[in-house]
Structure 1
Amino acid sequence: MKTMILTLIFLFTASLNAAVVGSVSKVVGSVKVKSEGSFKKSKVKLSQEIKEGDLVTTSSKGMAVINLVDGSSVVLDKSSSIHFAANNSLEQTGGKVFYKITSRDAKNSLKIKTPFAIIGIKGTTFTVSAEKDNESVALKEGLVGIKSLKEEFKLYRKEMMAKYKSFVEDQMSEYEKFKKGLTDPKPELTKEFDLEAGNVVSFADNVVKESKFKEKMDAEFEAYEKMINESFEKAKEESEKMPSDDKSVVEH
């Protein structure tokens, strides 16, 4: 019993001393946070500080914008969760999240762990979907490195797929393709690869297929950007109303 009490005291003290990684600038619907060392989730409030070790989750109708201390922003879509392990290390355990990351040097590059890969970035704008039937990374700007958690990826680059499709369409009728039971070309086997701007990769176990960034994604990205901009404006307005000693809470 004594050991358990000491453990609880240690965990509580550690959570109080945890470094601040950002603050909440917008909350829609139900959003909760569980601090490291805590056994329950609490409701997230506007301007609330997010610390190392915090796990933030949104409900099926909830969304949140979190501004990181370096000026980056993270938008959690519905039914999503992120564990803020450290200032340069996040773990997205589910749902869809929009990342707008400011430029970082190699020493301070951000790593995001997902159920299907580890994503390393320096400065970029992208979404990660870790939904059950949709595991993917869509990159609008910048460059990200994607590393396998286990075995090698079977990577199908979009150029390879396009050339193969064009060749098949030029050379064979639909009946001939069906009769021969043609399959995809031989993939590139790799433990890690770079994803360039304007591309999307989808994951099915260790099979990765690259495609072009779709027009409908632009509207989605614009909606996330709008949420971030609105949250900044709101935070600015609230900051101007507050006494000067309290402004540090929202000015990250």
Structure 2
Amino acid sequence: MLFVSLLLMLVYTSFAFAVECESYASLIRTEGKVQLVALGSPFPKRNLDLPYALCSGDRVQTVAEAQALISHSGGELVLAENSSLEMLDVDSLSLTEGTALFRVTKREGQRFVAKTPLVVIGVKGTEFLVSSQSSRNDVALFKGEVEVERQDGQEMAYYESKPVSAMSFSEYQAFQQQSFNEYKNNLEQAFSDYKEQQLAEFKAYVSGVDLQAGRQLTLSGENEKPEAIDAPINKSVEKLQQQLNSWLE
């Protein structure tokens, strides 16, 4: 009797996993070790036949030296190594960990949303890179427009880096010296260390930031006082964008 019950449970579970769902995206191309964890499945899928239809709740995960190209209703994205992305619905995705480069097609009257555990990014049509780390999130905008807000709705202390033209000579010397510090350009650098290296001035407490092209918004992690620094895109992010962008050409 126990054997029959277990067999029926196995058949039911297999049937449940096999049921097709409405797909909002597709896994188009992979490099290295890429796993798919389907909604409700305890085991990741490997050796996928591409293109592979993705449904709400599905998660795509990459390890070191791996990346994946995903086509979705809003456009395309490249998931970088050591990253995890979850499909939410037809107009939204969640980068739960790591880095992704998004290219979103402009759609009249429609807004695409990219999320991390910390922020919500509203997009109308643009190219931007998002990095979600435990101590900080980065949103770098290369073209178009995005609006960045916190998931919890808290206001942020908004800081803006000085343009070179507004710096004193001593500030410019310090800025030049900092630009050669390798750790400044590390996306995994703690927010507090990053803030210390930026010549930024407090502007206001804001609930959201309309980021401008060529700028990078760096936000403190969930356990810190909400702060955000608006600065020019740094060289490491530009280099990463160029590398990931080759998959979008």
TM-score, normalised relative to structure 1: 0.73
| Cα distance in 2 for residues equivalent to 1:15 and 1:135 | 36
Stretches of 4+ moved more than 4 A in 1? Answer: 8-15, 159-163, 167-170
Matches within 5 A, 1:59-78: 59-70=63-74, 72-78=75-81
| Cα distance in 2 for residues equivalent to 1:143 and 1:95 | 22
Amino acid at match of 1:141: K
Q: 1:51 aligns with which of 55, 62, 66?
A: 55
C-alpha deviation, 1:193, in angstroms: 1.7
Task: Indicate the residue corresponding to 1:197 in structure 2.
Answer: 213
Bigger Rg, structure 1 or 2: 1
Q: 1:61 to 1:160 in 2, by over 3 A?
A: closer
Q: 1:127 to 1:169 in 2, by over 3 A?
A: closer
Task: Indicate the residue corresponding to 1:211 in structure 2.
Answer: 231
- Residues 77 and 101, structure 2, Cα contact 8 Å, conserved in 1: yes
The reply to whether residue 227 of structure 1 matches residue 229 of structure 2 is no
Q: 2:126 aligns with which of 119, 124, 130?
A: 124
The reply to whether residue 86 of structure 1 matches residue 89 of structure 2 is yes
| Cα distance in 2 for residues equivalent to 1:228 and 1:146 | 24
Q: 1:143 aligns with which of 142, 145, 170?
A: 145
Q: 1:109 aligns with which of 99, 106, 111?
A: 111
Percent of pairs identical after alignment? 23
Q: 1:39 to 1:161 in 2, by over 3 A?
A: farther
Amino acid at match of 1:21: Y
| Cα distance in 2 for residues equivalent to 1:12 and 1:69 | 28
**Which string of whole-angstrom CA distances, capped at 9 and with x for unpartnered residues, describes residues 181-220 of structure 1?**
xx96444101112101110011123111111124554443
Q: Which of 59-68 and 94-103 deviates more?
A: 59-68
**Which string of whole-angstrom CA distances, capped at 9 and with x for unpartnered residues, describes residues 55-102 of structure 1?**
1111122210112245x1111101101110111111110000110111
The reply to whether residue 38 of structure 1 matches residue 38 of structure 2 is no
Q: 1:80 to 1:216 in 2, by over 3 A?
A: closer
Q: Which of 150-159 and 120-129 deviates more?
A: 150-159
Q: How many residues align?
A: 211
Question: What RMSD, in angstroms, separates the aligned Cα atoms of the two structures?
Answer: 3.1
The reply to whether residue 153 of structure 1 matches residue 169 of structure 2 is no
**Which string of whole-angstrom CA distances, capped at 9 and with x for unpartnered residues, describes residues 220-249 of structure 1?**
3222221223xxxxxxxxxxxxxxxxxxxx
Q: 1:35 to 1:133 in 2, by over 3 A?
A: same
C-alpha deviation, 1:19, in angstroms: 1.5
- Residues 152 and 189, structure 1, Cα contact 8 Å, conserved in 2: yes
| Cα distance in 2 for residues equivalent to 1:196 and 1:184 | 16
| Structure 1 unaligned residues grouped into runs of 5+ | 171-182, 230-252
| Cα distance in 2 for residues equivalent to 1:17 and 1:75 | 25
C-alpha deviation, 1:35, in angstroms: 1.2
Which SS does the other structure have where 1:132 is aligned? Answer: coil
Q: Which has the higher helix share?
A: 1
- Residues 135 and 202, structure 1, Cα contact 8 Å, conserved in 2: yes
| Cα distance in 1 for residues equivalent to 2:106 and 2:90 | 14
TM-score, normalised relative to structure 2: 0.73
Q: Which has the higher strand share?
A: 2
